[in-house]
Amino acid sequence: MIDRYMPKDFEEIWSEENMFRTWLRVELEVCRVLAEKGWIPKESMEVIEKKAGFSVPRIKEIENVTHHDLIAFTTSVAEYVGPDSRFIHWGLTSTDVIDTARGLQLKQASEKILAAIDELQKAIKERALEHRKTLMMGRTHGVHAELTTFGLKLAVWYDEMKRNRDRMQRAAETVSVGKISGAVGTFAHLDPDVEAIVCERMGLKAAPASTQTLQRDRHAEYLCAISIVGSSLDKFATEIRHLQRTEVREAEEPFAAGQKGSSAMPHKRNPVKCEQISGLSRLLRGYAVTALENVALWHERDISHSSAERVILPDSTSVLCYMLRAMTKIVSKMVVYPERMLKNIELTRGLAYSGQLLLDLTRKGVLREDAYRWIQRCSMKVWDENKDFLQVLQEDPDITKILSRAEIQSVVNPQHQLRNVDAIFSRVFAS
């Protein structure tokens, strides 16, 4: 991932240096278990513990000849250790090391992603509670529908992020797995308890069954979970972008002192961070498709998944955490305009209460089809003749036969539509 979207802590997780360091940790853990079993002499194990190391430039130099990064790595380690290096990588295949190490890297990345989700949830909750009573127009198909509150809009986001956290937690557990089962997964040279002990010491679960590789349905599930979280962030960002449009202007992302919106138009305050999040979410969905393509490998393994994973695993985890942290800042500092929300409610001159009027008429014994026709007739006059909804209703002969002037007037009452908002908040924030 380019530096622009690579958090520093993820740069460390996915650096070549950390990858080789994690490979070495796997190799050493296997050696320790074998030494405990008496398969490696005590004196040799002491030398391995003392001398084991590697040189990244040397690994690259060797790989230019071998065209195999793991062999280049073990050769570099052998140069540090000397003759006792014959016990390193004993009974292993390359993917035992690579997949187990990657499981640890994914676990480390997942912990940071989950922490970032927690921070975003906290920010959303604070703003939702702040604006639980802030009236605004709800829109369906982009058209004014009925009243809602800005806090309720955010409560929906919060509830969605709870589900995202759950699915991300499950997916993280699915990929926090290792395997030390050999060339085709049969434990031909090492016993299964070696795998169990090594994985436990690394904080991973051992795969119940594997081939030369961990099965890539695990990674596909993980990337799909990441793409869903990213799509939720895209949804939130798209909503803010719509609310920031000049004609709406009910909320907008923060605009920092000294920030510039356009090279040509000094007046511009554009939702650039939200647009950035929407754009990056497209990458995550693309990575998920690639991960799904990686599930089907030939026989006990081929290497077609490897090149893709070198890109999609570091990139997807890094980008998602970048997006989560960016959205947290946006939500925390988002500017909200309650007065503009009230003005926008007034744009349709009371049409938002047509649904309540429909119910009031049916409660008085009017057939729903008749009531709907009467109200729609009045509503079209509001749209086409720019009249006030109450005025048109009070002039309609069918409606005034059923409802008194006071009853018609009482229709325009936000409490009809928002009387259960507190109940929704209690359910969403019960925990």
The residue from 298, 328, 344 where one domain ends is 344
Residue 344 main-chain phi, psi, to 5 deg: -70, -30
Q: What is the pLDDT of residues 239-297, one digit of tens each?
A: 999 999 999 999 999 988 787 877 788 888 899 999 999 999 999 999 999 999 999 99
Is residue 259 a part of any domain in this protein?
A: no
Is residue 330 a part of any domain in this protein?
A: yes
Q: What is the pLDDT of residues 87-136, one digit of tens each?
A: 999 999 999 999 999 999 999 999 999 999 999 999 999 999 999 999 99
Q: What is the pLDDT of residues 346-398, one digit of tens each?
A: 999 999 999 999 999 999 999 999 999 999 999 999 999 989 999 999 999 99
177 and 224 share one domain: yes
> What's the confidence (pLDDT) of residue 266?
81
276 and 399 share one domain: no
Q: Is 141 a catalytic residue?
A: yes
**CA distance readout (Å), 5 to 13, 155, 237, 279, 318:** 14, 28, 17, 12, 7
Is residue 360 a part of any domain in this protein?
A: yes
pLDDT band at 431 (very low <50, low <70, confident <90, very high): low
340 and 373 share one domain: no
Q: Residue length, the chain?
A: 431
> What's the confidence (pLDDT) of residue 262?
75
Does the CA dihedral 92-97-98-100 come out positive or negative? Answer: positive
Report the chain's mean pLDDT, rounded to a whole number. 95
213 and 286 share one domain: yes
d(CA 231, CA 279): 10
79 and 102 share one domain: no
Is residue 424 a part of any domain in this protein?
A: no
In contact, 275 and 233? CB cutoff 8 Å: no
228 and 247 share one domain: yes
- DSSP string spanning 177-232? EE----SSSS-SSS-HHHHHHHHHHTT-EEPSS-SSS--THHHHHHHHHHHHHHHH
Tell me the pTM.
0.94
Is residue 78 a part of any domain in this protein?
A: yes
239 and 315 share one domain: yes
Cross-strand pairs, 206: 178
The residue from 297, 327, 344 where one domain ends is 344
- Work out the angle at residue 178's Cα, subtended by the Cα atoms of residues 172 and 180, and round it to the nearest 5 degrees: 175
Extended strands (E) in 25-156: 135-140, 143-149
Domain total in the chain: 3
355 and 383 share one domain: yes
> What's the confidence (pLDDT) of residue 256?
80
The residue from 344, 365, 393 where one domain ends is 344
75 and 155 share one domain: no
Q: Which domain holds residue 402?
A: 351-411
Give SS3 for 327: helix
For tokens 């003005």, the residue is 343
340 and 355 share one domain: no
210 and 334 share one domain: yes
399 and 325 share one domain: no
Q: Is 189 a catalytic residue?
A: no
- DSSP string spanning 59-83? HHHHHHHH--HHHHHHHHHHHHH-G
Give SS3 for 30: helix
In contact, 277 and 329? CB cutoff 8 Å: no
CATH of residue 29? 1.10.275.10
Give SS3 for 330: helix
Catalytic option among 15, 262, 304, 426: 262
> What's the confidence (pLDDT) of residue 228?
98
Is residue 258 a part of any domain in this protein?
A: no
Is residue 427 a part of any domain in this protein?
A: no
Catalytic option among 67, 141, 267, 299: 141
pLDDT band at 417 (very low <50, low <70, confident <90, very high): confident
Q: What is the pLDDT of residues 48-95, one digit of tens each?
A: 999 999 999 999 999 999 999 999 999 999 999 999 999 999 999 999
Is residue 325 a part of any domain in this protein?
A: yes
CATH of residue 128? 1.20.200.10
> What's the confidence (pLDDT) of residue 258?
80
CATH of residue 359? 1.10.40.30
> What's the confidence (pLDDT) of residue 282?
97
Q: What is the pLDDT of residues 135-191, one digit of tens each?
A: 999 999 999 999 999 999 999 999 999 999 999 999 999 999 999 999 999 999 999
- Work out the angle at residue 28's Cα, subtended by the Cα atoms of residues 23 and 33, and round it to the nearest 5 degrees: 130
